[in-house]
Homo-oligomer: A and B are copies of this chain.
């Protein structure tokens, strides 16, 4: 063919922030009559490359046929705007992206071939660079789901996920961590565990997440007690001073692929042991942990639904951890009902403080779980003999040492504060006498979300009963907390419609 060199195939447009939140998927908006759009043959759903200065991102194109965009503008969704780092009117170069070479290993996996370490590395690198569309992410996740990842593949995936982000290093020989596989509202043991184990001199630099689909993440609850939005440097200062912290991990860049994969895994709701192990452990390895205790709540409305499933997952976590020199201990816990009383950031934080300060009304189940987990950490870290960890943990709690350590950590993070109390509250009463037969964790979580949690930190609900408890007609089942009358009303109506969320057996 002809050999003359042409200019490269790109067009230029003016950046415009259109204020559309597409969650994490970058979307670009171009007018149907935009010359670049026409000449490049771009259509709705085309994947396009946007370049500004040295930064390039890949976005999905939506074609606009109305007047909110001029024909020489490239509208950017919030995710695209953030990633590209432009200002309104900046020149943006639009072109066809390079082919997604790494996807050929995903195709191979679909045809039954094992994925190599290089294959995973290529995929994860492109995922972190935002080059995978939601469709491609879903295909990758599905190709690896079920029992399709061997141990070697899970190790390779974990290693690729760690390598794609930042890694923390600590001077200590033993750095402990904990994780909960999730799905249980109110299970806010982390701040208590950190306080107990750091009080005893162990190092626990805890990074936590915010709520994605739940009514509160540990970072959301902790934020009602102290600042959590620390950068790496500030976090290091806290850990050097107090031996531990409870901060938001989102800004640390640890295993960033995980955050991207999770947004597609959640709606699909696959319980894939390999992916879960890679997700959990890549964060812990990147955080520099050496010993991790993993809480696996088991129950019909928890994430893990049977003891069998918990055992398979546990074996996988221990095996993959070992491949990275990470000692993992798993603990199956009761996942039949929420933990503590509060569901929602401030309400859970209040329970945490109640346990630490040994208030008489402190929820015993939350305290017992925290003691169990902290005890396991003591045993792993050599701070207590096997079987003696719980006693050591309880001692740290009862002596007031844990509470003192927690206050010190909060001060180091920027100052201890009092969780807010919602301005609108209403008791949801029992319409009949009975004994509590079952509690649907998912529905209760939804009620708390409808009341405004986690976006409104004070919102959520306080649960007044436990499984097996007898209740009279007209007694409060839970108290709704909301920041607006509308949200209170809305959560209330949802609760009325889903009477089965808490089922009663006749007395």
Contact = CB atoms under 8 A, between A and B. Distances in A.
Contacts of A500: 1
A436 B289 CA distance: 61
B45 A2 contact: no
Q: Report copies per complex.
A: 2
Nearest to A107: B270
Interface stretch (A48-56, A64-72, A297-305): A64-72
Contacts of A145: 110
A221 B477 CA distance: 68
A39 interface: yes
A280 interface: no
A392 B94 CA distance: 53
Interface stretch (A313-321, A357-365, A380-388, A487-495): A487-495
B38 A2 contact: no
A27 B39 CA distance: 26
Contacts of A487: 38-39
Contacts of A77: 62
Given A22-B45, A138-B142, A9 B428 contact: no
A163 interface: no
Q: Which of A62, A430, A449, A492 has the most C-beta atoms of chain B within 10 angstroms of its own C-beta?
A: A62
Interface string A245-283: 000000000000000000110011110000000000000
B41 A450 contact: yes
Interface of A: 1-9, 17-23, 25, 27, 29, 32, 35, 38-41, 43-45, 47, 62-66, 68, 77-78, 107, 110-112, 133-139, 141-143, 145-147, 263-264, 267-270, 428-432, 446, 449-450, 452, 477, 484, 486-487, 489-490, 492-502, 504
A342 to B, nearest CB: 18
B65 A45 contact: no
A2 B495 contact: yes
Contacts of A38: 452, 484, 486-487
B107 A64 contact: no
Contact of A138 (B17, B134, B263, B428): B134
A23 B43 contact: yes
Contacts of A446: 41
Contacts of A23: 43-45
A68 B18 contact: yes
B267 A9 contact: no
A1 B498 contact: yes
Given A141-B139, A500-B1, A133 B267 contact: yes
Nearest to A212: B43
Given A2-B495, A8-B497, 12 more contacts: A1-B495, A2-B499, A3-B499, A21-B32, A21-B63, A23-B44, A27-B62, A41-B450, A111-B147, A135-B264, A135-B268, A139-B141
